[in-house]
Structure 1
Amino acid sequence: MGQVRQLRVVVEAEDYDEAVAFFRDVLGMPEQEAYAGEGGASVVILDAGRATLEIANPAQKRMIDDVEVGRQVAPHIRLALEVDDSAGTTERAVAAGAELVAPPVRTPWDSLNARLDVPAGLHLTLFTELG
């Protein structure tokens, strides 16, 4: 039985150009591939570095929301991106139109985490490992 070689999250974005500009230009995710098809169909694949799938039970999800935000806000699926400077990246993201849900906070697991609502209707954690 073969192993999974890649995790790819596919998101439909009503405002495609806004979403591409935010993730590619604001967050700095390099374009890997892009395709335009018939009828105005477009897709871009952005490099997010290493991908993992984090599966949390409801108690863990509540605890993370409490630590990072102070209340329950995350939907069923939340994206988390590790960045070199979560505070600076959060400032750039908000300046580019992201909605700040919670500013960067130091977590008990020694990371600096911020929460945002971003283009394509996504809820996002930006985190920097401090340890």
Structure 2
Amino acid sequence: MTADPPRPVVRQLRLVVEAADHEAAVAFFRDALGLPQEAAFTSEGDAQVVILDAGRATLEIANPAQKRLIDEVEVGRQVAPRLRVAFEVDDAEATTARLVAAGASEVAPPTRTPWQSLNARLDAPAGLHITIFEELVRPDEQAGTHVAEPGRDGDG
């Protein structure tokens, strides 16, 4: 009897974003959004990178119909590019206000979703379209609040 080969183990998801205005992007995500800085490196030719801790990472893969549905629920129209980054926060309204004050453009204000979260859409530095979301019910309570969506964390 042969054993199954070991499954690969992913230890971290790291999203690498090129930002023409590196300082402004770091200030927005580190200082305004509050992502703690883990490390920073500089190299020859003025190469710079700052690594920010974004908490637990998930990879949400949606088909085109789901992407359209999420845009309709959260914004009322199709706005998201192919890639959107979502951040779970404790207070979506206060965080949205803070990020708009720090230079983000509000695409849609915090909106209650059918999956019981409060989601806002912003265009942020570095050309990122982001969702700020606050879970309104505990994950163990969510099962009875909407149609089950296997694998969905609720960030939209």
**Under a length normalisation based on structure 1, what TM-score does the superposition of the two structures give?**
0.99
User: Is it true that 1:40 corresponds to 2:56 in the alignment?
Assistant: no
Where does structure 2 lack aligned partners over 5 or more consecutive residues? Answer: 1-6, 138-156
Give the CA RMSD over aligned residues.
0.5
Letter in 2 for 1:32: E
Mapping 1:1-131, distance limit 5 Å: 1-131=7-137
Q: Which structure's CA Rg is the greater one?
A: 2
Aligned equivalents of 1:27, 1:86: Cα separation in 2: 11
What is the CA distance between 1:123 and its match in structure 2? 0.1
- Amino acid across the alignment from 2:27: A
Q: CA deviation at 1:24?
A: 0.2
Count of matched residue pairs:
131
User: Normalising by structure 2, what TM-score?
Assistant: 0.83
Secondary structure at the aligned position of 1:52 is classed as: coil
The list of structure 1 runs, each at least 4 consecutive aligned residues, that deviate by more than 4 angstroms after superposition, is none
Q: 1:84 & 1:24 partners in 2: Cα distance? A: 16
Give unmatched runs, 5+ long, in structure 1: none
Bigger relative contact order, structure 1 or 2, given CA contacts below 8 A and separation 6+?
1
Deviations along 1:33-75, one digit per CA (max 9) or x if unpaired, are 1001111110000000000000000000000000000000000
